[in-house]
Amino acid sequence: MSTLILGGGLTGVTLARLLHERGHDVLVLEGEPCIGGLCRSRSAEGFTFDTGGSHIIFSRDAEVLDFMRRVLGENQETRTRNTKILYKGILVKYPFENGLAQLPREDCFFCLNEYIKAYIKREKGEAGTPENFREWIYATFGKGIAELYMIPYNEKIWNFPTERMSAHWVEGRVPMPPVEDVIRSAIGIETEGYTHQSVFSYPARGGIEALVRAMGNGLEEKIVTGFPVRSLRFRNGAWEAGDGRRTFSGDRLISTIPLQALVRCLEGVPAEVTTAVESLRYNSVACIQIGIRGSVPPLSWVYIPDRDISLANRISFPSNYSRHVAPEGCSSILAEVTFNDGDPVSRMTDSELAGHVIASLGKMGFLSEEDVIYRAVDRQKFAYVVYDLDYPRNIRLVREYFEGRGITLVGRFSQFEYLNMDGCIRKAMECVEGWS
């Protein structure tokens, strides 16, 4: 039994490794010149940056976390998270509800008072069921935290109104803050949120792409790069994938590529399925990579909810993840800007976008512009899944169609779920276990 895997990102290569270890004949078809997908990295002039956004290795899933660490072997370093939110010029502890004591006193009171009101409402069963993401934020955190941080930040990163987003996806991704911790944090007692990522790992060398490459060790002959799939046909009991010049076949087909790319490869797709796929919303991301002389603050990453301060929604400090990703005496900053086709960011040149980000980071005090010695921009078309209110109906129709055609969907943009790296690996494991 042979299996074709479309896409050589983290999900596709993990699937290939797991199936190969179980004795399956596999072949991965990757459209780009190298594997990695959203987990690719760029190395130039002594700097290494992740080109699909800042990635770290952590998980609540002990099996997946152990698997990632075993695959990387000795090529990893471990760090303790030091993450902040830039609020009114103050670096507030992350998550926001664990840093309330650092806010101006009136803002702290506003957040605590409204959080307790929301908590009491939930306890009395008066909160009701949120009908969208915005309502969920208000019901969970109260008006203060919602309006001062959660809504501004989420509308910036998703580039979409929170009242038009579904709330179903939040369960398990955004932990419910314990009321005791919120009160402690408001009066200045140290508390820690999101403890599953308070200690994280990162490849010592090679950026996050090192994880995908380690996953693919020994599978080089099972991976074909530079093969953008343009046609898929099921003929004589097998799947045939072509790029216009070559054709490969397999008994089974797993797709990890975006649904929007997959549907274009098939003939005879019903109009309602095509419409449903085209209606699935996603964001693109621009990753601005900045190398500087000297040091950066001892931070992991910083969230920037205020649109007026910078287009960047998050900045990270890769040189604080590993001592090998910047030249001696230098440091690095990676800024992320989400955008969609046709919006102002999409119309900016890379030079304009890098110039804006560097200038804004200078005003925030994270760098001096004269110390910048390296800059680059990478844009990823498919970056974040956006759960709009039509998502449940559209994704159900799409999944039923592909399941009916015998195509297995695995991974972030094939299942169209907001999966982190550990989630992608877990989905790959579940797929393989189902076939073993």
Helix (H, G, I), strand (E, B) or coil at 124: coil
Q: How far is CA 300 from CA 43, 123, 213, 329, 392, in A?
A: 20, 36, 24, 18, 35
Between 190 and 71, whose confidence is greater? 71
Q: Which residues, including other chains, have CB under 8 Å from residue 73's CB and lie 6 or more apart?
A: 214
Average pLDDT, the chain: 96
Which residue ranges form the domains of the chain, and what is each CATH number? Answer: 2-35+207-280+387-435 (3.50.50.60), 96-191 (no CATH)
Residues 8-58: pLDDT tens digits?
Answer: 999 999 999 999 999 999 999 999 999 999 999 999 999 999 999 999 999
The residue ranges of DSSP E strands in 274-316, in sequence order, are 281-293, 301-303, 314-316
The pLDDT confidence band at residue 423, using thresholds 50, 70 and 90, is very high
- Please, are residues 122 and 129 in contact by the beta-carbon 8 Å criterion? no
What pLDDT is stored for residue 436 in this prediction?
62
Residues paired with 217 in a beta bridge: none
Gap between the Cα atoms of 265 and 121, Å rounded: 51
- Please, are residues 323 and 331 in contact by the beta-carbon 8 Å criterion? no
The pLDDT confidence band at residue 1, using thresholds 50, 70 and 90, is confident
The percentage of residues in the chain with a pLDDT greater than 90, rounded to a whole number, is 93
DSSP 8-state code for residue 135 = H
What pLDDT is stored for residue 200 in this prediction?
97
Q: How far is CA 119 from CA 101, 128, 193, 270, 356, in A?
A: 19, 12, 18, 47, 41
What pLDDT is stored for residue 152 in this prediction?
98
Q: Which amino acid is at 123?
A: E
**Stretch 254-272: mean pLDDT:** 98
pLDDT higher than threshold 70 for residue 97: yes
- By DSSP bridging, strand 301-303 and strand 84-87 are parallel
Q: Is-above-0.85 flag for pTM? A: yes
What pLDDT is stored for residue 197 in this prediction?
82
Helix 62-72 and helix 421-435: axis angle, to 10°?
100
- Please, are residues 82 and 298 in contact by the beta-carbon 8 Å criterion? yes
Nearest to 356 by CA among 399, 304, 430: 304
Q: Is the dihedral of CA 9, 15, 17, 18 positive or negative?
A: positive
pLDDT higher than threshold 80 for residue 435: no
Radius of gyration of the chain (CA): 22
Sheet strands side by side (includes 90-93): 90-93, 84-87, 301-303, 314-316, 330-339, 281-293, 372-386
pLDDT higher than threshold 90 for residue 291: yes
Helix (H, G, I), strand (E, B) or coil at 259: helix
What pLDDT is stored for residue 170 in this prediction?
84
**Stretch 307-321: mean pLDDT:** 98
Length of the chain: 436
Residues 140-199: pLDDT tens digits?
Answer: 999 999 999 999 999 999 999 999 999 988 876 676 778 998 999 999 998 877 777 899
End-to-end Cα spacing for the chain: 12
Q: Is the dihedral of CA 15, 17, 21, 23 positive or negative?
A: positive
**Stretch 327-355: mean pLDDT:** 98
The residue assigned the tokens 């307790």 is 116
Residue 265 CB coordination number (10 Å): 18
Interior CA angle at 216 toward 70 and 66, to 5°?
A: 20
pLDDT higher than threshold 90 for residue 405: yes
Q: Which residues, including other chains, have CB under 8 Å from residue 158's CB and lie 6 or more apart?
A: 165, 283, 338, 384, 386
Residue 252 CB coordination number (10 Å): 18
- Please, are residues 173 and 197 in contact by the beta-carbon 8 Å criterion? no
